Amino acid sequence: MSLTILVSMVLCFALTISVAVSIGLSAVIGIQMSNAHMLTSVKEMFNSLNKFPLAAIPFFILAGNIMETGGISRRLVDFAKSIVGGVQGGLPMTCVLTCMIFAAVSGSSVATTFAIGAILIPALIKHGYPTPFAAALQATSAELGVIIPPSIPMILYGVSAEVSIGEMFIAGIGPGIFISATLMLFVWVYCKFKGWGKQDGDDRLSVGRATLKAAWALLMPVIILGGIYGGIFTPTEASAVAVFYALLVGMVIYREIKLTDLMAILRKSAISSAVVMFIIANAGMFAYLITRAGVPDAIGRWLVEVLQSPGYFLLGVNVALFIIGMFIETSAAIIVLAPILAPVAQHFGIDPIHFGLVMVVNLALGMITPPFGVNLFAASTVAKISVDRIVRDLIPFVLVVLGGLMVISYVPVLSLGLRDLVYGP
């Protein structure tokens, strides 16, 4: 049965059927072959969605879309540019820094790509940066949307591996800042080498003025993350607070959102949420079948036998996840693989929170690697160029993030240091 499920799923992929539908169809075939009642599929799909932490996903998506429409993203760009925009290559550094701040509320890399890319990609092109470089930079920087907490993939990992989402969030701060700093250092050196960005400081606001204009926007991640870590509300409740605060700032303080805009924002958010939930439902049904078939146990035993040390295990898993992330959407990959790999990681003495960060960062690379990188398609849409023109400029960014991933994998204190400080080891 397991072989049939795998073959049918690969065949669906080859026929360019969407990942969610491919997983669902192969699971239905598996149910038919096992002579189980077809109501099992409905039951398992419902059970996959019937988890309170998942309620945070549509709220964070809605908050990100409200921020995009309400002028919050533009003010964050001005703030970031006031800090790092005065040096050569300051505009690309502004892109990375803005995405890091925006990610601290939106939780979505695609939302970050559209919200920040719509402002910065034209600005980069205007300052003489090649369009493919601008698009590749934006796609890579937006990846921080799933590494910096709150993060939708972190919520999915927490639910799938049955670990604390709050601990996942606080553990993501260190790796997120580390990758952001690495990307900023790289683009600064790269722009120096290429001779780009010598006029990046033009029209830059002073730090004081930019901070004053962005004060309400900057307060948003402080309220959300501070409330979670201060025990005032749970991550799920924080998502609802994010929506309320974004509406307050966008409609009352900045006054850039009108009542007539709300329907379009809600419609866009509902469609995005439905896509994610559909993937979760089908992946949950698929995970039920492979667990029933004993696949996770078999893979776990095989990994323990072949990869006989934590170092080799992390290396092997990183290689496998990097390849898987190229072809399977991040949410689906986490839901299917986390229940399989997390117990094996614990067998090797790897903290499940640390392993979760390794999974999230690695699979986030799939958002910027062909052929199915969603950030690539989003960035190419904003930049109005084809995806194949971005790939060459994308390679250095992928290598930089891969280097950061290796550090995160083998230096666990980067993920666990802050977690242990707040929650205890």
User: pTM for the complete prediction?
Assistant: 0.79
Instruction: State residue 101's pLDDT score.
Output: 83
Name the residue ranges covered by the structural domains of the chain.
Answer: 37-423
Nearest one of 178, 176, 106 to 144, comparing CA atoms: 176
Q: Report the pLDDT value the prediction gives residue 157, as an integer from 0 to 100.
A: 92
Tens-digit pLDDT string for the chain (425 aa): 567 777 777 787 677 777 678 878 888 888 777 777 777 788 888 887 887 777 877 887 788 788 778 878 788 888 888 888 778 888 899 989 888 888 776 666 777 787 788 788 888 888 888 999 999 999 999 888 888 887 888 988 998 888 988 899 899 999 999 999 999 999 999 998 888 878 777 777 788 888 888 888 888 878 887 887 777 887 778 888 888 988 998 898 888 888 888 999 899 888 878 877 887 788 778 777 777 776 666 766 777 677 778 888 899 889 888 888 876 778 778 887 888 889 889 888 999 999 999 999 998 888 888 766 778 777 887 788 887 788 889 999 999 999 999 999 999 999 999 888 877 66
